Structure 1
């Protein structure tokens, strides 16, 4: 089942987010320490705003994707997508694709004209998923983040929803 997460999902969302940070830290912008330090109130605000879509199997949250619409009026036509995370036990069964489809549907419902995302240049699997979902590579951000003292590049990707 795919649905928008609410404040009632705080515990399971935080749990899966922290699991993802420990299992696949390069898939996230924040470090585990920063995530642990994130107050519940900040996550409740994000969940209450409908910015996170979750995938459930048997009542267990197994994946999520965040969707944030541009803030200023001149940027309200676009939204940032990510992070996307699926628990390893639920991978290769279409969960990520279902989350991406739900995010696109939600963006269309909001009147968003384009979705943008950044993905680690070394994460070829995620890039393939995004391309299969209609995203195109539009650039490379060198040294986007530094992980354990090592610079990492991000691929910038975009999908125009009105094309």
Structure 2
């Protein structure tokens, strides 16, 4: 497996992965599918903001991706990022998630981020366990904060402090 930065050539597969999660999962609480243009714009925006989009490849095939962006838009949050990680069906359970997340943590540290936040569906025990294994601590739980597929979803917030700076 290799982990590399995404390029515009990856946009079609990124679209497919995103839409699969929209249609079948609760890692993403959006319900509208996106098109190729959306992912091309996403890649361009992430690059312009200096936010990584990492891709995991297994035998030349994209197995998943991870990225982060500003946690909140206010200036005071500029050293805190919220990340997303998606592994394609057929590649799950092969250790791709931990490797992608570890690489993203390294990128966040290299880019001077102070805190990385995960916002996870409370029923996604596998993702919560993965984050805890990599040092994230649960800092909040919001019952029925969202909805999808006709049911309420709990939001679990986990965070990883990336450095020990005493001041920004």
| Same fold, TM-score > 0.5, yes or no | yes
Q: How does 1:6-155 map to 2 (within 5 A)?
A: 6-22=7-23, 24-31=24-31, 33-36=32-35, 39-46=38-45, 48-49=47-48, 50-70=51-71, 71-82=73-84, 84-155=85-156
Question: Is contact 2:19-2:33 (8 Å) kept?
Answer: no
Distance 1:10 1:106, change over 3 A: same
Distance in 1, matches of 2:36 and 2:12, equals 15
After TM superposition, the structure 1 stretch with the greater mean CA deviation from structure 2, 39-48 or 70-79, is: 39-48
Question: Is contact 1:6-1:47 (8 Å) kept?
Answer: no
The structural deviation recorded for 1:129 is 0.3
Structure 2 spans left out of the alignment, 5+ residues = none
Structure 1 spans left out of the alignment, 5+ residues = none
TM-score scaled by length of structure 2 = 0.84
Distance 1:72 1:112, change over 3 A: same
Distance in 2, matches of 1:54 and 1:151, equals 31
TM-score scaled by length of structure 1 = 0.86
CA RMSD of aligned residues (A): 2.1
